[in-house]
């Protein structure tokens, strides 16, 4: 077994075990303990560790990106409720603010790469600042970018902030943060040195100065994007105006459900998780609602992988 999945929700944990059994995500074990009870020594022997694992979408996205199951990586989508507009707005005072526990494990174990995701909102700005400060203090280079699900073809906005921490340090320009993230240096020379040529790098996801060409076009098409063009931007065309919409992308067959507020919302074809008689419909809805967008995560992972290829060339 190569992977460790940490998930406190017993229904999601059971779902994870079935996904592992079916081979949809990396082989591994599922730990239902609170992350605050997990010790660094508990993680010995695992190549990949996925915290707040939900239904295993990070592992699925890594596989789709070409990241092998035996390649070391950690992932974690810390609870967004403390910083989400849908939450109580308690922020750091919320008991679900579990970054300190995740940070402790990272600090003690030092995985080479950590991917994460958080809600993209003004309330979460202070959260990502804390994450970057904590990780840079222990030698990681950190990059982060917010972008909507709509930019990868989804028929809804759902803004999310994706971040990556790389222990190789200077490879991400000596831990400088660019592309609109607080803490970057000023001046054209410094910025150009950080961004490089803008070819599909994490820091070039929204770079208006790079040439915008993406070396991972096959990955874009495999993710359900349209055929990549020369207009593709840094992160596999995340801001390309020719991105697919709900009629010709990954979600082209979505079913649109009419809701009480008069709005229609897309779901996977045949899902209808709330219809009477559907098995475990509440569990399924919770699983879908808490999961990250696999295609969005894949685009971010691929952008980072392309950047690594450039700096190692």
Which pair of structure tokens corresponds to residue 20? Answer: 């592992």
Mean pLDDT calculated for residue range 195-201: 34
Confidence of residue 121 (pLDDT cuts 50, 70, 90): confident
Residue 202 has pLDDT above 70, yes or no: no
pLDDT tens digit sequence for 232-249: 333 333 333 344 444 456
pLDDT above 70 covers what percent of the chain?
Answer: 59
Please enumerate in sequence order all residues whose Cβ is within 8 A of that of 154, keeping only pairs 6 or more positions apart, or say none.
Answer: 148, 246, 249, 250, 251, 266, 293, 295, 296
The 3 state secondary structure assigned to the chain is CCEEEECCCHHHHHHHHHHHHHCCCCCEEEECCCHHHCCHHHHCCCCEEEECCCCCHHHHHHHHCCCCCCCCEEEECCCCHHHCCCCCCCHHHCCCCCHHHHHHHHHHHCCCEEEEEEECCHHHHHHHHHHHHHHHHCCCEEEEEEEEHHHHCCCCCCEEEEEEEECCHHHHCCCCCCCCCCCCCCCHHHHHHHHCCCCCCHHHCCCCCCCCCCCCHHHHHHCCCCCCCCCCCCCCCCCCCCCCCCCCCCCCCCEEEECCCCCEEEECCCCCCCCCCCCCHHHHHHHHHHCCCHHHHHHHHHHHHHHHHHHHC
pLDDT tens digit sequence for 32-77: 999 999 999 999 999 999 999 999 999 999 999 999 999 999 999 8
Look at residue 21 in the predicted model and tell me its pLDDT. 96
Whether CATH 3.40.50.150 fits 3-243+293-312: yes
Confidence of residue 188 (pLDDT cuts 50, 70, 90): very low
Confidence of residue 289 (pLDDT cuts 50, 70, 90): low
């Amino acid at each position: 077994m190569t992977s460790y999945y940490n998930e406190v929700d017993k229904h999601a944990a059971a779902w994870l075990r079935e996904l592992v059994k079916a081979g949809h995500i990396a082989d591994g074990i599922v730990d239902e303990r609170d992350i605050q009870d997990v010790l660094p020594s508990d993680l010995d022997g695992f190549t990949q560790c996925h915290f707040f694992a939900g239904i295993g979408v990070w592992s699925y996205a890594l596989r789709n990106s070409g990241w092998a199951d035996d390649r070391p990586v950690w992932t974690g989508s810390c609870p967004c409720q403390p910083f989400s507009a849908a939450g109580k707005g308690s922020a750091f005072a919320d008991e679900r603010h579990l970054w300190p526990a995740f940070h402790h494990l990272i600090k003690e174990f030092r995985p080479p790469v950590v991917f994460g995701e958080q809600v993209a909102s003004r309330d979460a700005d202070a959260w990502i600042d804390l994450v970057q400060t904590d990780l840079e203090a222990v030698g990681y280079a950190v990059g982060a970018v917010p972008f909507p699900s709509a930019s990868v073809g989804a028929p809804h906005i759902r803004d999310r902030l994706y971040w990556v921490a790389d222990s190789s340090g200077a490879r991400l320009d000596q831990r400088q943060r660019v592309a609109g993230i607080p803490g970057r240096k000023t001046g054209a020379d410094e910025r150009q040195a950080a961004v490089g040529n803008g070819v599909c790098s994490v820091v070039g996801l929204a770079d208006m100065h790079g040439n915008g060409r993406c070396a991972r076009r096959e990955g874009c098409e495999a993710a359900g994007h349209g055929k990549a063009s020369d207009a593709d931007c840094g992160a596999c065309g995340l801001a390309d105006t020719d991105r697919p919409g709900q009629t010709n992308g990954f979600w082209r067959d979505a079913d649109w459900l009419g809701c009480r507020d008069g709005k229609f919302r897309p779901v996977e074809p045949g899902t209808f998780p709330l219809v009477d008689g559907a098995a475990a419909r509440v569990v399924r809805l919770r699983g879908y609602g808490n999961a990250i967008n696999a295609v969005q995560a894949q685009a971010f992972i691929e952008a980072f992988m392309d950047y690594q290829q450039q700096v190692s060339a």
